[in-house]
């Protein structure tokens, strides 16, 4: 208000108008920006609404008990028991985790505890590229390279579509996720803990495995859960390399169908929009959404916990 005393009357008014215009502009801009942020809430509502509506319509025709407990999945015959699809997803995910957990964790330890800074600068982009490879490419690789390789070497009886090759390559796909999230956790372990271990005469391996990994455990668990959730939601690798035949309790060397692969199979065919079969993809989608949502929330909780400690 000291400006008012020195300024002429008209100049003072100009300043006020300008200020009011600026204030209005500030408020409009803030409103627009907040709308962008609220869009994410809208997206979640959209997902829940679309899945819920069609799933409810599906359950008007098919009993929810049959859907959750029957072990027969054959939509043309009207058999809608989701367990065989869940089994397919779980087998592929288990194999993927068996690959990505050790490799991802050891990679994280290497990056954080062993690698020279110059090497890190090379390795991290390679991991990023690995994470960015389109999943159809991984699917092609599993189908035309890994499966024939297995047939000629250790599993002569392996089927063209099988869970082993699909799961293995899915494991490679999630290595970057597991490695980079665990590395953040490993890296956050205070230096003093390592120095304490070295001062007591521990070797590098002992320090890494007995001090650093236990200290970073909740972050590592979060990383693995996140990787598992990625694997469960992954679509093209299992569609291309694991086949489209539901197979309850089949061997990993056989073809089987994952939940995601079923959705692709239906939308790729000529199924009419109003049929039960078409509605069933939303029921399967709901199950998929709920499973990954729970896993993501658990992982988020673990990450926050480890952040609070240090």
Partner 1 sequence: MSTRYGLDRAFTVLVTAAALIGIVVLALLLFDVIRDGSTMLSTRFLTSFPSQIFPANGGIYPALVGSVWLLGLTALISVPLGLGAAVYLQEYAEDTRLNRVIEVNISNLAGVPSIIYGLLGLGIFVQLLAPVTGGGSVLTGALTLSLLILPIIIVATREALRAIPASIREGGYALGATRWEVIRSHLLPMALPGALTGIILALSRAIGEAAPILVVGVSLYQTYVTRSPFDGYMALPTQIYDWISRPQQVFQDSAAAGIVVAMGVLLLANSLAIWLRNRYQKHSR
> Which one of 90-98, 184-192, 210-218, 231-239 is the stretch in contact with partner 1 (CB under 8 A)?
231-239
**Binding pattern for the stretch 17-36 against partner 1, x by CB under 8 A and - elsewhere:** -----x--xx--xx-xxxxx
- Min CB(74)–partner 1 separation in Å: 21
54 vs 254, which CB is nearer to partner 1?
54
Helix (H), strand (E), coil (C) string for the chain: CHHHHHCCHHHHHHHHHHHHHHHHHHHHHHHHHHHHHHHHHHHHHHHHHHHHHHHHHHHHHCCHHHHHHCCCEEHHHCEECCHHHHHHHHHHHHHHHHHHHHHHHHHHHHHHHHCCHHHHHHHHHHHHHHHHCCHHHHHHHHHHHHHHHHHHCCCCCCCCCCHHHHHHHHHHHHHHHHHHHHHHHHHCCCHHHHHHHHHCCCCHHHHHHHHHHHHCHHHHHHHHHHHHHHHHHCCHHHHHHCCCCCCCCCCCCCCCCCHHHHHHHHHHCCCCCCCHHHHHHHHHHHHHHHHHHHHHHHHHHHHHHHHHHC
Q: How far is the CB of 149 from partner 1 (least distance, A)?
A: 10
- Minimum CB separation of residue 292 from partner 1 in Å reads 6
Restricted to residues 242-261, the positions that interact with partner 1 (CB under 8 A) are: 260
Residue from 264, 279, 280, 302 in contact with partner 1 (CB under 8 A): 264
* Residue ranges in 103-122 that form contacts with partner 1 under rule CB under 8 A: 103, 106-107, 109-111, 113-115, 121
Residues 34-53 that bind partner 1 (CB under 8 A): 34-41, 43-44, 46-47, 49-51, 53
Assess 14 for contact with partner 1 (CB under 8 A). no
Q: Which residues in 143-182 contact partner 1 (CB under 8 A)?
A: 143-145, 172, 175-176
User: Which of positions 55-94 make contact with partner 1 (CB under 8 A)?
Assistant: none
- Ranges within 202-221 binding partner 1 (CB under 8 A): 203-206, 208-209
CB 260 to partner 1: min, Å: 5
Q: Does 197 bind partner 1 (CB under 8 A)?
A: no
């Amino acid at each position: 208000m000291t400006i008012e005393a020195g300024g002429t009357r008209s100049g003072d008014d100009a300043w006020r108008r300008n200020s009011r215009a600026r204030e209005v502009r500030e408020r409009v801009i803030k409103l627009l920006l907040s709308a962008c942020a609220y869009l994410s809430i809208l997206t979640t509502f959209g997902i829940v609404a679309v899945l819920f509506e069609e799933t409810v319509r599906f359950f008007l025709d098919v009993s929810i008990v049959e859907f959750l407990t029957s072990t027969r999945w054959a939509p043309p015959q009207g058999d809608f028991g989701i367990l065989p699809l869940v089994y397919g997803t779980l087998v592929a995910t288990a194999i993927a985790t068996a690959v990505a957990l050790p490799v991802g964790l050891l990679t994280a330890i290497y990056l954080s505890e062993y690698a020279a800074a110059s090497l890190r600068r090379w390795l991290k982009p390679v991991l990023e590229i690995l994470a960015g490879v389109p999943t159809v490419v991984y699917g092609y690789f599993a189908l035309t390279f890994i499966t024939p390789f297995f047939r000629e070497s250790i599993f002569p009886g392996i089927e063209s579509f099988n869970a082993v090759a699909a799961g293995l390559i899915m494991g490679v796909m999630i290595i970057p996720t597991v490695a980079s999230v665990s590395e953040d956790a490993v890296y956050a372990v205070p230096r003093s803990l390592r120095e304490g271990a070295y001062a007591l005469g521990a070797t590098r391996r002992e320090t890494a495995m007995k001090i650093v990994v236990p200290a970073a455990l909740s972050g590592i668990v979060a990383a693995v859960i996140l990787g598992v959730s990625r694997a469960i939601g992954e679509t093209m690798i299992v569609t291309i390399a694991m086949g489209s035949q539901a197979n309850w309790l089949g061997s990993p060397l056989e073809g089987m169908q994952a939940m995601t692969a079923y959705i692709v199979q239906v939308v790729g065919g000529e199924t009419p929009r109003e049929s039960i079969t078409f509605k069933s993809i939303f029921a399967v989608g709901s199950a998929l959404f709920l499973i990954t949502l729970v896993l993501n929330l658990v992982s988020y909780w673990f990450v926050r916990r480890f952040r609070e400690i240090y």
